Structure 1
Amino acid sequence: MKKILFGLLIGALAACSNQKDVILQTASHAVIQFSKDTVRVREKDWTNVRGTGNGNVTLYLTDPGHQLNMRTDSMPSPVHLLYRGTEIKSGESMLVMDSVQLYCVADLPGLYEIDLYLTDRLGRGETKKLFVRCVPNTTASPSFFWRDLGSEQMQSWNYVFDASNTNKPDGTISEYHYSINGQEISTNQPVMYWTFHAKGDHKIGLYVVDDLGNKSVTLYQTLTIL
């Protein structure tokens, strides 16, 4: 009797093993696909300040309807991967389904590789590399012009200065620093108004500071009031 029961147990185990093998062979494999294989970002751009979407990448997972585990190992130290504003730490797993949008940040210029591992419900794994190309932050090029607003009082000449043509293609300008005859005027707006009280030549300077705190060169021009 014991031999019969033992035989039945061995048979059941073998059947389960065969069934598992069949499931593993016939079930569709989870596959990772990227919306772009190389993500191009500007250094230290944590907020995608210009709204270009350059740092965004979408992962498409071909095992819909089932939760999958995704993790990254050996993340390059200058690179950060964010999901819904939260950084994914190296070696940390997260549950994903269908598609996931991530945001890449890099602290230093260079080309980096991120290995993404996807594990399906049957424990099978899929690996794919994501490349991150980080370019240096460019220095802004200051530019400004002025317009005569006329004179309302004796010995008063009103002018408006406009620096909205300052060139900063990969970021934003956070500060405008004018100097008028050596007097410093700082503002976070490109337009500034000023009243002169003397004719002659007036030395006007401008430098700007971008969203990463980098300072431009100073541009000088001479305004002449006749």
Structure 2
Amino acid sequence: MKLALVLIAAVVMYGCSDKYKTIYSSALIPVLAFNHDTLHIREKDSLNITGWPNPILWVKSIPSLPVMHMMFSEPTGKVHFMYRQEPMRDSEPIIVAGDSTSLYCHCDMAGVYPVDFYLLDQLERVSTKQLIVNCLANDKARASLSVSFVDSSRTDNWAYRLDASATSKKYGRIYGYYFNVNGLPFYSFDAFVDYVFHARGEQKISVFVKDDLGLHSDTVTAKIVIP
């Protein structure tokens, strides 16, 4: 009798084990997919001033299964991801909500960084995919300056427009225009400044700009002569 019970238990256990293996082997393995296999971002742009290059990574699981965990590995520590406004930590998993998850990415230094992502499903199977983060160096703005006559109807007043609007920058924004007229420095948020001179002769004007990351452009100069 005891031997029969042992045999029955063994058959049941073997049957369950075999059934588990069948379920395990037949279940679809979720695969990671990105909206971009290469993510182009600008160095030190943690606030995403411009929105371009686009720092949002959309991660999708195919098929979508409930209660999956995802984590990433990046050895340099210079690439950072935010999930629901909270920083993700290297090799610490987060729960994937739904079939698509958005991650915000920023980077400390220009370079090309491979980042490995791992997706763990309910059966503890792991799917991996590599993302390339192309972190672009912040470009220096190219300042421009033109000076045009406006008015001289008032005695000993010569009005000119200082125009730095042709200043160019590929990434980011210009956050200030720093003019200098005959050694007198002043700041302007706008690219246009109307300036009144009160003396004849040669006038020296210069300008440089500063971008959203605090990088200065080279200084450009111009000269005018008021006869």
The answer to whether the superposition gives a TM-score over 0.5 is yes
Partner Cα distance (2:219, 2:91) in 1: 46
Partner Cα distance (1:198, 1:53) in 2: 48
Q: Is the contact made by 1:76 and 1:114 (CA closer than 8 Å) also made in structure 2?
A: no
1:164-208 deviation per Cα after TM superposition (whole angstroms, max 9, x unaligned) = 211111111112110000000112222222211112221000011
User: Match of 1:49, SS?
Assistant: coil
Which residue number in structure 1 is paired with residue 197 of structure 2? 196
Is 1:167 the counterpart of 2:165 in the alignment? no
Which residue number in structure 1 is paired with residue 151 of structure 2? 150
User: How far off its partner does 1:146 sit?
Assistant: 3.1
Partner Cα distance (1:100, 1:179) in 2: 50
User: Match of 1:215, SS?
Assistant: coil
User: How far off its partner does 1:47 sit?
Assistant: 2.5
Deviates more, 1:43-52 or 1:168-177: 43-52
TM-score (norm 2): 0.91
User: Match of 1:10, SS?
Assistant: helix
Which residue number in structure 2 is paired with residue 25 of structure 1? 25
Is 1:135 the counterpart of 2:140 in the alignment? no
Partner Cα distance (2:221, 2:76) in 1: 43
Deviates more, 1:102-111 or 1:198-207: 102-111
Q: Is the contact made by 1:40 and 1:134 (CA closer than 8 Å) also made in structure 2?
A: yes
- Please tell me the residue identity of whatever aligns with 2:37: D
Which residue number in structure 1 is paired with residue 14 of structure 2? 14
Runs of 4+ in 1 over 6 A off after TM superposition: none
Partner Cα distance (2:135, 2:24) in 1: 40
Q: Is the contact made by 2:34 and 2:57 (CA closer than 8 Å) also made in structure 1?
A: yes
CA shift in 2, pair 1:86/1:191, >3 Å: farther
Partner Cα distance (1:190, 1:89) in 2: 42
1:80-110 deviation per Cα after TM superposition (whole angstroms, max 9, x unaligned) = 1222433211011111131122232221122
Partner Cα distance (1:191, 1:84) in 2: 41
Aligned length: 226
User: Match of 2:51, SS?
Assistant: coil
- Please tell me the residue identity of whatever aligns with 1:209: K
Gaps in structure 2 of 5+ consecutive residues: none
- Please tell me the residue identity of whatever aligns with 2:7: G
Partner Cα distance (1:31, 1:171) in 2: 35
Q: Is the contact made by 1:177 and 1:186 (CA closer than 8 Å) also made in structure 2?
A: yes
- Please tell me the residue identity of whatever aligns with 2:121: D
Which residue number in structure 2 is paired with residue 5 of structure 1? 5
Is 1:48 the counterpart of 2:48 in the alignment? yes
User: How far off its partner does 1:65 sit?
Assistant: 4.5
C-alpha RMSD over aligned residues? 1.8
User: Match of 2:41, SS?
Assistant: strand
Q: Is the contact made by 1:79 and 1:105 (CA closer than 8 Å) also made in structure 2?
A: yes
Which residue number in structure 2 is paired with residue 69 of structure 1? 69
Gaps in structure 1 of 5+ consecutive residues: none
Partner Cα distance (2:168, 2:36) in 1: 28
User: Match of 1:72, SS?
Assistant: strand
User: Match of 2:176, SS?
Assistant: strand
User: Match of 1:130, SS?
Assistant: strand
Which residue number in structure 1 is paired with residue 219 of structure 2? 218
User: How far off its partner does 1:43 sit?
Assistant: 1.3
Deviates more, 1:169-178 or 1:187-196: 187-196
Q: Identity, % of aligned pairs? A: 33
Partner Cα distance (1:135, 1:53) in 2: 9
User: Match of 1:207, SS?
Assistant: strand
Q: Is the contact made by 2:147 and 2:222 (CA closer than 8 Å) also made in structure 1?
A: no
Partner Cα distance (1:105, 1:61) in 2: 23
Which residue number in structure 2 is paired with residue 95 of structure 1? 95
Deviates more, 1:7-16 or 1:125-134: 7-16
